[in-house]
Amino acid sequence: MAKTIHKACDEIYVVGEGETLNTISEKCGDPFIVERNPHIHDPDDVFPGLVIRIITPTNTRKLLKT
Distance (Å, rounded) from C-alpha 49 to C-alpha 31? 20
Task: Assess if residue 23 is contained within a domain.
Answer: yes
16: containing domain:
12-65
Q: pLDDT tens digits, residue range 40-56?
A: 999 899 999 999 999 97
Q: Cβ atoms within 10 A of the Cβ of 48, count?
A: 10
| Residue 19 resides in a domain | yes
pLDDT tens-digit profile of 22-44? 999 999 999 999 999 999 999 89
Query: Is 35 a domain residue?
Result: yes
The number of distinct structural domains making up the chain is 1
CATH number at residue 29: 3.10.350.10
CA terminus-to-terminus distance, the chain: 37
